[in-house]
Amino acid sequence: MELLDGSLIDLADAVRSGEVSALEVADAALARIAADASGAYLDVDAERTRTQARAVDDKRARGEPLGPLAGVPIGLKDVLCTRDARTTCGSKLLEGYRPPYDATAVGRLRAADAVFTGKLNMDEFAMGSSNENSAYGAVKNPWDPTRVPGGSSGASAVAVASALASATLGTDTGGSIRQPAALTGVVGLKPTYGRVSRYGLVAFASSLDQIGPFAREVRGAARVLEVIAGHDALDATSVDRPIDDYVGACGADPKGLRVGVPDEYLSGEGLERDVRTSMQGALKALEGLGCSLVPLQMPHTRYAVATYYVVATAEASSNLARFDGVRYGVRVDPRKDLEAMYGATRDRGFGPEVKRRILLGTYVLSAGYYDAYYAKALKVRTLIRRDFEAAFAKCDVIAGPTSPQVAWPLGERVDDPLKMYLADVFTLPASLAGLPGISVPAAPSASGLPIGLQLVADAWQESRLLTLAHAFEQVSPARGLVPWGRA
């Protein structure tokens, strides 16, 4: 079992050298998954995983060079298309659906000799902040099973926090990698929009969605990013830029970096006392690393939640129109059985949160309301982006809390969507601006629950982000803390 508790990079090196076999690693992961009660996995095929592992071992036995993720067990959020496993998006509409192809990011992991442990639970169609919106049941936080793990990539975070996989892929539309990483005490990285191909990602909001990694340590996330990043001709939003040495950036000295601290991030309403205290300690630690703190004002942060839920739902109403029971989804004749697609029966149609967002998105795009809501939201999105442009003229990286609260109890916000949406208040601005962000574990709360420090850099500056994140990780009070090690 200890094979999965250490560094992802060290594990790949051990498989590459023959110190341990990929099959041994796969068996260790499968044993943990079988004993897990968090609800993180939706699709596990032990023989499929072992077949992949044997292929890696056979490749090494033939003397062929192994890839940078040799034998590393990786879980995949169930919104990523996989040619040999179901892709349900956490919805009964796609129950049993098997895509005929891999998402580009998935294909690049295969080429790097990663071993897939299975598909991971998620909020239905990636819509949610708690992983309670899945049609297949809520996911539990390993630090306290009565609490949420965050969302929509909550299971991707839980799989890493519980060492069911060495790394996972999630997707981030408004914070769905960074926020669950913070609530479960792992590293979650959202790349710059366009850095990682979206081909094969079932779309929620096309101008916002990004694929990114979860890992136990920053260097592990950097290694996975090196593999999945890069231009893809199959994705019109993919940008052709060189891929940096992200793992090497983790060893660079952050001394001299200017760290911006927005007033709005530390004085906002709803920020819990333990989170504020943890952030104050994190900022002192960054100063101790030789960074200088720069006070900032980002006045349009207060509009980020409203802007996001206009833009994202508008795009969702368009993207989800394809799930009509003809092209995708439950096979029905909508003229005879609209209830099957849009009715209240959860076992056949969309769940409540997805329906809520489709309705809102359709409303803001409708005649007479487009200019009042959607067009105005696009203008505010530009103002938010300009806030970042002004900030990066003064600093190199922006720091603040990832989430205003620690993980809350299961069921507490299910009937209060607005309160649920406010959990993403600090992650939404970077998403609207298309910027890279990372959540790194900081000092936990008084009760021992994880808290995340969010770092945001300018576009294409993932290396700078990883340099600071790795340096902070080395001095963070959360270093080495794991849920199974709690007293």
What burial letters (b/e) apply to 172-206, b meaning 16+ CB within 10 Å? bbbbbbbbbbbbbbbbbbbbbbbbbbbbbbbbbbb
Average pLDDT over residues 141-167: 97
Average pLDDT over residues 64-87: 97
3-class SS of residue 213: strand
Q: Which of 213-227, 315-329, 437-451 has the lowest mean pLDDT?
A: 315-329
**Structure confidence by residue, pLDDT tens digits, 169-185:** 999 999 999 999 999 99
Per-residue pLDDT band for 324 (boundaries 50, 70, 90) equals: confident
The rounded percent of the chain whose pLDDT value lies above 90 is 89
466, β-bridge pairs: none
Answer yes or no: is 95 within a domain: yes
The Cα–Cα gap between 337 and 342 comes to 9
**Which one is catalytic: 38, 91, 134, 176?**
176
Domain count, the chain: 1
**Which one is catalytic: 21, 38, 77, 317?**
77
Cβ atoms within 10 Å, residue 63: 6
pLDDT value, residue 345:
44
The Cα–Cα gap between 126 and 170 comes to 10
pLDDT score of 342 more than 90: no
Answer yes or no: is 380 within a domain: no
**Structure confidence by residue, pLDDT tens digits, 116-151:** 999 999 999 999 999 999 999 999 999 999 999 999
Answer yes or no: is 49 within a domain: yes
Range(s) of the domain holding residue 33: 2-300+385-485
pLDDT score of 248 more than 70: yes
Per-residue pLDDT band for 3 (boundaries 50, 70, 90) equals: confident
pLDDT value, residue 86:
95
From residue 385, give the alpha-carbon distance in Å to each of 38, 172, 185, 234, 439: 38, 18, 29, 27, 20
- 247-251: Cβ within 8 A, 24+ apart: 247/9, 247/219, 247/222, 247/223, 249/222, 249/462, 249/463, 249/464, 249/466, 249/467, 249/470, 250/218, 250/219, 250/222, 250/466, 250/467, 250/469, 250/470, 251/470
The Cα–Cα gap between 308 and 428 comes to 7
Mean pLDDT, rounded, of the chain: 94
Answer yes or no: is 27 within a domain: yes
pLDDT value, residue 420:
93
- Catalytic-residue membership of 176: yes
For helices 462-475 and 273-288, what crossing angle results, to 10°? 100
**Structure confidence by residue, pLDDT tens digits, 445-477:** 999 999 999 999 999 999 999 999 999 999 999
**Structure confidence by residue, pLDDT tens digits, 24-50:** 999 999 999 999 999 999 999 999 999
From residue 260, give the alpha-carbon distance in Å to each of 165, 290, 293, 438, 463: 34, 14, 6, 15, 17
Average pLDDT over residues 283-309: 97
The sheet with strand 210-215 has its strands ordered as 41-43, 115-120, 73-77, 167-172, 210-215, 187-190, 437-442, 451-457, 397-401, 258-262, 292-296
**Structure confidence by residue, pLDDT tens digits, 349-360:** 899 999 999 999
Per-residue pLDDT band for 2 (boundaries 50, 70, 90) equals: confident
From residue 335, give the alpha-carbon distance in Å to each of 19, 325, 328, 485: 61, 11, 16, 56
Per-residue pLDDT band for 322 (boundaries 50, 70, 90) equals: confident
Q: Are strands 210-215 and 187-190 parallel, antiparallel or unpaired?
A: antiparallel
CATH code of the domain covering residue 416: 3.90.1300.10
pLDDT value, residue 346:
46
Phi, psi dihedral angles at 462 (to 5 degrees): -60, -35
Answer yes or no: is 359 within a domain: no
Q: Are strands 115-120 and 437-442 parallel, antiparallel or unpaired?
A: unpaired
pLDDT score of 341 more than 70: no
pLDDT: is 341 or 193 the higher one? Answer: 193
**Structure confidence by residue, pLDDT tens digits, 81-99:** 999 999 999 999 998 899 9
pLDDT score of 334 more than 70: no
Type of residue found at 259: V
If residue 60 lies in a helix (H) or strand (E), which one and from where to where? helix 46-61
Answer yes or no: is 370 within a domain: no
**Which one is catalytic: 134, 152, 153, 476?**
152
Which residues, including other chains, have CB under 8 Å from residue 241's CB and lie 6 or more apart?
A: 195, 231, 460
Answer yes or no: is 183 within a domain: yes
Answer yes or no: is 88 within a domain: yes
Helices (H), ranges, 87-173: 104-111, 154-161
The Cα–Cα gap between 266 and 108 comes to 39
